[in-house]
Amino acid sequence: MEISVIGAGHVGLVTGACFADLGHRVVMVDNDAKRIEQLKRGAMPYYEPGLEELVARGVREHRLAFTTSLKEGVQKSTIIFIAVGTPQKSNGEADLAYVEAVARSIAQHLCGYRLIVEKSTVPVQTGHRLAQTIKTYLKKKHPFDVASNPEFLREGTAIQDFMKPDRVVLGVESQRARQLLRSLYQPLGVPIVVTDIKSAELIKHASNSFLSMKISFINAIATLCERCGADVQQVAEGMGLDERIGRSFLNAGVGFGGFCFPKDLEAFIKISEQLGYDFELLKAVRRINEAQKGSVLEKMQQALWVIKGKTIGVLGLAFKPNTDDMRYAPAIEIIEGLLREGAMVKAFDPQAMPEAVHHLPTVKLCRDPYEVARHADALAVLTEWNEFKELDFARLKRLMRQPLIVDGRNIYDPQRLQALGFRYIGIGRGTLEPH
Ligand code: UGA
């Protein structure tokens, strides 16, 4: 199949590279000339495990090409995926200006039947707007269909998520669109859910909001655990074995971040409002998440009494492991809070250091966890990178001014660290230390 993907961001580039790997001919289009040049040279615009190799293979085998020309993309393909950004406006709504601009350009270059597929996360009813816009700007009367094919991939495991998703959702409203998309995804051998376009659009926002709700739920339980002396890890295990609940996304921590959950939650609250429904449940999810980010500062304050003048080491800056992405990372707000209180902050992240320079210019960036620990009054773990799970704790303790660990991702065994002589504070793991 001839495919073009418009927008070479986190979703678009993975989608294009994966379709090319499945044997299709893919043209990746992006209006960022620098990014396209970079991709042509084989350099990735962001870190995603396995992506560089996949892109290199696609290019080598002439199935994957890059261009800044939308016209070329439209002319060379039957299926056009729109994967441009839908950033957040100041009122929380998704900004659809890029999507609309792409729709107008597609209309101008259309030459024969095309299937135009929304891949970007968009509010319900966007598909119909898209169809109307294309119709309005069409130069000659060419047939086309619009479909919705929301993406569920996660940063850090994006390729695996694309190749082996739990399900593929196809929002289609014509036989031709259904057949084209079905034949594209059939080789993956995974469940395919076919719906109308609006339902597919809703599935995406509903899924991300539901997962955010699970995280805020367990974070609220973590707060209760701290107040009554229970352990949230054990509670999550006990709850998660119930198939109706499931263990995943029940990891208590410093709150959810990234460019998807916070933004999609805001957008969904706004969409509901516009549809005349006050989605109070999601407002509570947002509130709990904000409070959760503040809890690290509270824990530090309680353990150190005064933060001013203290040196605090941070392990992990990315919003989750296996990515260099720091957009809406809880680490940013937490560190800004510590700095406001007068702490000196040192930090290390295995991938996000180049990003950290922009997001946290006053933080001292270190080479490794041990440099972070040197003369620190406390260490805070904010991202659960595997390499932080086993450290030379005796060395850390020798380097630190005070052996205090605030484990914001519950990666350590409290008893083990206490036996090694650390003061340990996790999230929702028994009562906090006595005052
Ligand atoms: C999320 C969804 O999981 C994907 O299905 C979706 O396609 C994507 O958003 C998107 O809309 O593009 P992603 O943002 O890459 O993917 O990351 P997640 O693994 O979902 O984690 C999001 C945040 O939740 C992270 O900050 C993570 O640390 C936090 N989290 C996750 C928890 O605090 N606890 C958990 O149990 C799970």
* pTM exceeds 0.75, yes or no: yes
Is the distance from CB of 146 to CB of 82 less than 8 angstroms? no
In short, whether 152's Cβ falls inside 6 Å of ligand 1 is yes
Catalytic positions are 260
Nearest to 118 by CA among 146, 94, 76: 146
What's the rounded Cα separation, in Å, for the pair 173 and 151? Answer: 19
pLDDT of residue 431: 67
In a domain, 207, yes or no: no
Q: Which residue's C-alpha comes closest to atom 36 of ligand 1? A: 249
**93 Cβ partners below 8 Å, 6+ apart?**
123, 266, 267, 270
75 & 190 share domain: yes
CA 208 / ligand 1 centre spacing (Å): 8
In short, whether 251's Cβ falls inside 6 Å of ligand 1 is yes
Which strands make up the sheet holding 114-118, listed edge to edge? 64-67, 25-29, 2-6, 79-82, 114-118, 144-148, 168-171, 192-195
User: In the numeric block, which tokens belong to residue 351?
Assistant: 């991938």
In short, whether 250's Cβ falls inside 6 Å of ligand 1 is yes
Domain tally for the chain?
Answer: 2
Q: Which residue's C-alpha comes closest to atom 24 of ligand 1? A: 256
Is the distance from CB of 433 to CB of 423 less than 8 angstroms? yes
Ligand 1 atom with the smallest distance to the CA of 152 is: 7
Range 106-127 average pLDDT: 95
pLDDT band with cut points at 50, 70 and 90 for residue 434? very low
The pLDDT tens digits for 197-229 are 999 999 999 999 999 999 999 999 999 999 999
For 64-116, give the secondary structure using H, E and C.
EEEECCHHHHHHCCCEEEECCCCCECCCCCECCHHHHHHHHHHHHHCCCCEEE
The pLDDT tens digits for 364-400 are 999 999 999 999 999 999 999 999 999 999 999 999 9
Other CB atoms within a 10 A radius of the CB of residue 87 amount to: 13
pLDDT of residue 430: 81
CA 245 / ligand 1 centre spacing (Å): 17
pLDDT band with cut points at 50, 70 and 90 for residue 433? low
Q: Which residue's C-alpha comes closest to atom 7 of ligand 1? A: 152
Is the dihedral angle over the CA atoms 249, 162, 178, 7 positive or is it negative? positive
18 & 71 share domain: yes
43 & 145 share domain: yes
Amino acid residing at 62: H
In a domain, 205, yes or no: no
What CATH number did the domain enclosing 421 receive?
A: 3.40.50.720
pLDDT of residue 286: 98
User: Residue holding tokens 């659960």?
Assistant: 384
In short, whether 66's Cβ falls inside 6 Å of ligand 1 is no
233 & 306 share domain: yes
Among 159, 211, 410, the mutation site with the greatest number of ligand 1 atoms within 8 A of its Cβ is: 211
Ligand 1 atom with the smallest distance to the CA of 248 is: 36
Range 333-358 average pLDDT: 97
Averaged pLDDT of the chain: 96
In a domain, 151, yes or no: yes
CA 261 / ligand 1 centre spacing (Å): 7
pLDDT band with cut points at 50, 70 and 90 for residue 178? very high
170 & 104 share domain: yes
26 & 95 share domain: yes
245 & 99 share domain: no
Name the residue range of residue 82's domain. Answer: 2-195
Domain's final residue, options 171, 195, 219: 195
The pLDDT tens digits for 221-250 are 999 999 999 999 999 999 999 999 999 999
pLDDT of residue 108: 95
pLDDT band with cut points at 50, 70 and 90 for residue 341? very high
Tell whether the model's pLDDT for residue 435 goes beyond 50. no
